Structure 1
């Protein structure tokens, strides 16, 4: 009698042209598909519910729900498995098709014998549930998205991120360097240093950091460049963490962080004054297309004439899906918009800012994500204790998928340096880029 794996492989032929190039291991212990030991990815069906999820939601979301819930696994390293399967799809080895009419009775019989007939399985509770009547990118909806994303708590993010608590791409001065915790710290230090240099920060320079995360840039700018920094965030957990760091570092007179929505910054400017520099590190993706002109105008309005702004932001190629994809929009950060970098430059220019430098850093996100993955895997039991089994699996899938998307140029990240010129057109910029590089790179170049 055929096992579940043999039945699944037989039925898959109605949905995929050619031989199924993966091996299936089913809940009853049976295996079928690509030959064992051939190097083909091994998909593990821990429960028949995995197939029921795929029947109700074929494609990315069915697979994501099945993986997060634990109904489906990939044997071995998830990153290697996803890379192999994505390559098979990209190269045409897996070509989806619709079942022919004559195949339908057999498929129904197989579904019945496998116990797949039944109600649609509920999405895992880790999937975001937004306020029912909140408008896209309203303050209520944006706060709900942020609250969902940071529900895992500061302890979880402290486990995953480096000591800077930098939740954005690092700057790896050697992309061939081993992906280690020490090298991640160095990459984040180099990124923060480079941002401060691009912004021309020095003793008593004033910086506004919009969407300041856990304070990596405000702390770095105050501690290493002597800047006076105001940060804004709408995440209470982040604000509380930064305040602890401010006290621990003795920076109470140098850094202040407020719970302020970026849209309310203009009402704070009278209290704040304007700034020598403004930064926004991987926050602009979350304001949405409709609000981006307002966001860009707020950056412009917060600057002194002759001041500089730096936006680090993720991007997509023209024609690609502008959001993070179905999985990210369901589990991680819904409402995100990643447009081609040229379109973002136009929006920033329309606000009155002058574009001075665009630094493509796509390859740098690959080792950054992989360092976070390595930390997650090394501390798996602790991650499960903090976020739950499903939560930890969601983060594993998210980070592995993100690393692959950046590696294969389906997502990008760019640093955009801008100025607010004076009325006479002065930018205040240096003649060359020499001052932008991290100290270690500058010293090596001059050695």
Structure 2
């Protein structure tokens, strides 16, 4: 029996589509198109992962543990698969979705026996999140942030640019380096906020301080950063001291709902930024988030929210981005269509002044991160282990493709808290920040 051919046939039957990859199994057998990307099953455990968790999560678990791989460029292999999925769905709305009917289960079990792959459910990779408690409680939010952001400062320094900006850059020139694009993004945010020396700024979800430090150093503002990550807070304060920014950059280790404890009084903040943090707030809690921003701002104060989104037809019942992202990268994340986000911001009493789509910029940013990871693969594995390094390789390849194919987007939304008389103190044109 050609084991690869039998497995290839079962996969096509269950998915309801022509499989656009070639399979190679641990015994050397192969099946599928000769010129297609090669999906390599290195161990029988890969089959068990998919049998016990059909679909994206099972495949991801097998990949993370090294039981499954793609020869050549991982992003190209994923792109080929998604093209086939789109073609199948164009022909049949139910195609390309795992439909494990009784006949598939029986056939799969019988095939697993013949492959010698039958056995207990494989242990899940250690890199998976395991959150408990009430959704978006302070404790669970803190655990969710810690799962991803407290991984290792040394690892993030390896992957990100020198400023440690973990968000889409602004590639006004496609030839720019990752560092140039991130610097351009930080300047764009500061100009949109109209920052001037002596202003007080709030950076909600300040990460490793790229924006907080840049705004304080180059625009002369006093910044309070907000994070739930101990690793990030310690990193920012160390860099602030190195740059002589003590007293101008502070980082508060607390939830955005508890900023009164950080000395943030209502109506006193000149500018607020939240760079790709709103996705972690949750759907129902987003109202509290935007109302808090409105309350903290002074009349005439501006807010810049850079946030990822998903289109209406992509949200469905997986607003976090799918089983892999929700399990390994950002548990409890909730991405909304951009129109809904704008409505919630306006609903809090903030006036929308500008929306800038940056979807095409993200794949260029991710390409820089992926290049850094691959060039430093051995060091990355030494820092976080091979499983976590493979999580990141899959995350960057799949995430980049989602933006490339318009399944995800990212936008900068600029809003202002107008005075009771309607005064906004905004420039009449966007030339002030586009210069």
Equivalent residue number for residue 299 of structure 2:
305
Residue 26 (structure 2) pairs with residue 47 (structure 1): no
Structure 2 unmatched runs, 5+: 90-94
Matched, 1:21 2:15: no
Identify the residue that residue 264 of structure 1 maps to in structure 2: 258
Quote the Cα distance in structure 2 between the aligned partners of 1:303 and 1:401: 37
- Give the drift of 1:350: 1.6
Residue-by-residue CA offset, 1:45-89 (whole Å, 9 max, x unaligned): 010111111111111111111111111001111011111111111
Helix, strand or coil at the partner of 1:92: helix
The 2-side partners of 1:102 and 1:255 are apart by: 62
- For residues 392-411 of structure 1, give each alpha carbon's deviation from its aligned partner in whole angstroms, at most 9, with x where no partner exists: 00011111111000010001
Does the 8 Å CA contact 1:24/1:31 hold for their aligned counterparts?
Answer: yes
Give the corresponding residue for 1:12. 11
1:242, CA displacement in angstroms?
A: 0.3
1:18-44 per-position Cα deviation (integer Å, ceiling 9, x unaligned) = 654321111112222212xx2x11100
Partner of 1:243: 237
Assess, with a 3 A threshold, how the Cα gap between structure 1 residues 105 and 163 changes in structure 2: closer, same or farther.
Answer: closer
How far 1:14 sits from its partner (Å)?
Answer: 3.6
SS of 1:313's partner is strand
Counterparts in 2 of 1:123 and 1:102: CA distance versus 1, 3 Å: closer
Aligned to 1:62: 58
Aligned counterparts of 1:104 and 1:153: Cα–Cα separation in 2: 41
Q: Measure the CA separation in 1 of the matches of 2:320 and 2:12.
A: 32
1:229-252 per-residue CA deviation (whole Å, 9 max, x = no partner) reads: 111111000000001110111111
Deviation at 1:110, TM superposition (A): 2.4
1:351-366 correspondence to structure 2 within 5 Å: 351-366=348-363
Aligned residue in 2 for 1:445 = none
For 1:101 and 1:263, how far apart are their aligned partners in 2? 49
The counterpart of 2:269, out of the listed 271, 275, 283, is 275
**Normalising by the residue count of structure 1, what TM-score does the alignment of the two structures yield?**
0.91
- Aligned CA RMSD, in angstroms, stands at 2.0
CA–CA separation in structure 2 for the residues paired with 1:223 and 1:404: 35
* Matched position secondary structure for 2:313: coil
Q: Residues 300, 269 of structure 1: CA spacing in aligned structure 2 closer, same or farther, 3 A cutoff?
A: farther
The CA deviation at 1:147 is: 1.1
The answer for the alignment partner of 1:286 in structure 2 is: 280
Confirm or deny: 8 A CA contact 1:48 1:115 kept in the other structure: yes
Q: What is the rounded CA distance, in whole Å, between the counterparts of 2:268 and 2:286 in structure 1?
A: 20
Equivalences, count = 427
Is 1:204 matched with 2:198? Answer: yes
Q: Do 2:21 and 2:37's aligned partners in 1 also have CA atoms closer than 8 Å?
A: yes
Give the whole-Å Cα distance in 2 for the aligned partners of 1:70 and 1:286. Answer: 29
Q: Residue 82 of structure 2 corresponds to which residue in structure 1?
A: 86
- Whole-Å separation in 2 of the counterparts to 1:96 and 1:111: 21
Distance 1:188 1:143 in 2: 27
CA separation of 1:5 and 1:269: change in aligned 2, threshold 3 A:
same
CA distance in 2, matches of 1:370, 1:314: 17
Which whole-Å CA distance do the structure 2 matches of 1:350 and 1:105 have between them? 53
Contact conserved, 1:316 with 1:412, CA < 8 A, in 2?
yes
What's the CA shift string for 1:119-173, capped at 9, x where partnerless?
2112111000112xx1000011001111111242100001000011000000000
Residues 105 and 160 (structure 1 numbering): CA distance in 2 closer, same or farther, change over 3 Å? closer
